[in-house]
Structure 1
Amino acid sequence: MTTINGGTVFDFTQRNRPVSKSVIIEDLNDFSSIHSLGSGAKGVSSSNPYKRIVFVLSGQLECTNRTTGHTWTCPEGSFTIFPGNCTTGFSAAEDTVALRIVVVNPTEIYSILEDEKAYDLKQLVPEQEDSSVFIHILSCGNTKIWAVTMVEGKFFEAETLNSNMVYMCLEGEVKITYQDKERILHENQCFYCLKDNGIHLQAGASPTRLLIMKDIL
């Protein structure tokens, strides 16, 4: 399992640099992992009873349901849901890094989402003037994922978090105050906040889009 210290700014696409024609997997916990695919890499996931949600952080993923023959493309900045109980294949024509979460006993998946389709994270949550918009994508055990759009100057905060959280900047920039220190997150950068701490986030541009993930580390 990987170890990332609380209060750290990091970038999954830089931590996990692809190697040509190879698939490298870094386990984050029992259910989430980073997959780095070098140009020309191919792989197969054996039949799994659980759905898997995959966020493409860089590059482009070509996906195949080997049971039905259906193929689809998941470009950078999008995500897809692989169905359970089938064998799936994937390949990358260019260097690609993706976050995969195994969806064990989900209690909620955003109602518009269908398996085997690509969804653009930047388009999923519309920008609204003078407000922030949250969409709850997934609840699965302790893991929860939200997509958020904020306009410049808007903020939200939590006095004390009851879980470990990862905040990923998808677009724009966000100023984070954590343990009395300020950091600026830019596109593709993440911040890891440990439970029992407070956090304050403020958008520095319009729109600023975030992916907020609970207990993936």
Structure 2
Amino acid sequence: MLTVHHLGRSQSERIVWLCEELGIDYALKHYTRDPVTMLSPPDLKALHPIGSAPVITEGDLVLAESGAIIDYIVAKHGSGRLTLGPENPDFAAYLYWLHFANGSLQPSMGRNMILRRLELGDTHPMVQAMRERLGRTLGLIEARLGAVAYLAGTQFTIADIMTVFSLTTMRFFMPVDLAPYPNILAYIQRMAARPAYQRAMAKGDPGMALLLT
């Protein structure tokens, strides 16, 4: 049995959502953040040396990193669903946006989050540089979603699953005003309307107010 070790308000929501989209059997084990540090509890840290979520187990397998987990699940359980192959004209775009999520968007938000907590002030050169970088990153997504319904193009894929966390739940940790990005806001609403997303959030983070606007 595939078990998703899920930490509330974390990137592991991607894995729960993927399992719901694929309709596969899985067990969901919840973990709660330390109330002071907001970090993973010891029992989750004991699963994998990296000490953070998401983690999955299946038989003797213990696997971390949300991107690797998503690749594993779609390869082993997806039967070709939610991915695009090299014969598809959107294949390159699919690969780009799949890796953009954790290669550009999430790191940009993370750097801004750290700088915000350091309270360096809005005029600090690094704060200004990283804020401008995040603006360019969001602007690129905004432009893409003005041209297509999904990041890969015409089809919903794991590129969308990888990206939505950063545009929604990540804003609990790094507040971002998305009002200047109407295409992103419309996209979030489309994703939130998916039954599998609604099931995943209800199971993974019941009662959490979703940041969809």
TM-score, scaled to structure 1? 0.29
When you count strand as a share of all residues, which structure comes out higher?
1
Larger RCO: 1 or 2 (CA < 8 Å, sep 6+): 2
TM-score, scaled to structure 2? 0.29
When you count helix as a share of all residues, which structure comes out higher?
2
